[in-house]
Amino acid sequence: MNYQYLATPIGTLRLVSDGTHMTRIEFEGQYRPEPGEREHPDPVLGDCARQLTEYFAGTRREFDLPLAADGTEFQHSVWRSLEAIPYGEVRSYRDIARTIRREKAVRAVGAANGRNPLPVVVPCHRVVGSDGRLTGFAGGLETKAALLRLEGALPAE
């Protein structure tokens, strides 16, 4: 596995690839560097870092990266649905369940959303509770709110 760190307005992210595809994006607190561990960048990581930098600068709304996330077929169906949520918009877990034609699987959708290994790029932050409230996010609710404010889906503070 190759990885590099990227300083962003939401904290330092660790970007992970297998050399040809992005496999994970981890928030601070989700990774623990081993003693003596060194970054090992590759072209995929460089492209991801560039696209994320553009996103945080407000000049990119969609990502174009090769992705290879480990997960079940159900999780992949949820993650594909997340990728279809337009920049600056939100959907509820129930909306996602309907989109994948599993209306009764709202909790399972929430679990799959929470296991998304490629946050920001696969925009799980765009999913909210059915009442519009912000709910769980691996990077924390403050980070989720910051991403939604960046996209204009929440009013600026």
Q: How far apart are CA 26 and CA 94, in angstroms?
A: 26
- Residue from 124, 138, 147, 148 carrying the catalytic annotation: 124
E strand or H helix at 77: helix 73-83
Q: How far apart are CA 85 and CA 83, in angstroms?
A: 6
3-state secondary structure 33-56: CCCCCCCCCCHHHHHHHHHHHHHH
Q: How far apart are CA 112 and CA 138, in angstroms?
A: 12
To the query of whether residue 124 is one of the catalytic residues in this protein, the response is yes
Active site residues: 124
